[in-house]
Amino acid sequence: MSPERRYAEEAGVLMAGLGLPPAAGKLFGWLMICEPAAQTSGQLVEQLGLSKGSVSTNMRLLENVGMVRRVPAPGRRGHAYQVAPDTMMRVAADPTQFRRFRELMDRGVTLAGGEDASRADRLRVTRDFYAFLERELPKLVARFRSEYPSKGENDD
């Protein structure tokens, strides 16, 4: 097994620990290190030994959460997949996911009897944590971007 393939396998294990399917982690890991940066489904099947169905399903999942994007496949019909250099920053800076969790916890607090209800403790703490993330992560990403030296990479 090549070092690149081993890296993809390691990413699959790590991301499975975060609740993603191992195949999604392998695909993401591969797209972080592969050359060329854009890979077609066929290339991903060949390089990672995954089925076409697994590649299709997991690329759709990664695309839906904003971790990969479709790009034209140079010299071919169809598309390829790619990870932008700033993918994780864009995902982290999007307050939508945190707002949804905060709103869900808010509804739970109401359901549990309100702010002062003892069974709402877990919900309040979790809600407040997501409110904190919703408020602070975009600021941290902006700070990182302002401090990170630009190397002329295409971050689109």
Per-residue pLDDT at 96 exceeds 90: no
Contact 40, 30 (CB under 8 A): no
Q: What is the pTM of this model?
A: 0.78
**What pLDDT, on the 0 to 100 scale, is given for residue 68?**
94
Query: Which of 32-36, 63-67, 146-150 has the weakest average pLDDT?
Result: 146-150
Three-state DSSP class for 85?
Answer: coil
Arithmetic mean of pLDDT, 71-94: 85
Per-residue pLDDT at 69 exceeds 80: yes
Arithmetic mean of pLDDT, 19-29: 95
**What pLDDT, on the 0 to 100 scale, is given for residue 152?**
46
Arithmetic mean of pLDDT, 110-125: 92
150 CB-contact burial (10 Å; exposed 0-12 / middle 13-18 / buried 19+): exposed
Per-residue pLDDT at 154 exceeds 80: no
Per-residue pLDDT at 151 exceeds 80: no
**What pLDDT, on the 0 to 100 scale, is given for residue 74?**
75
**What pLDDT, on the 0 to 100 scale, is given for residue 87?**
86
Residue (of 53, 47, 1, 2) closest to 26 by Cα position: 47
Per-residue pLDDT at 95 exceeds 90: no
Arithmetic mean of pLDDT, 17-35: 94
Per-residue pLDDT at 85 exceeds 60: yes
| Averaged confidence pLDDT in the chain | 90
Query: Which of 1-5, 67-71, 120-124, 150-154 has the weakest average pLDDT?
Result: 150-154
- Take residue 55 and report the two structure tokens written for it: 């590649």
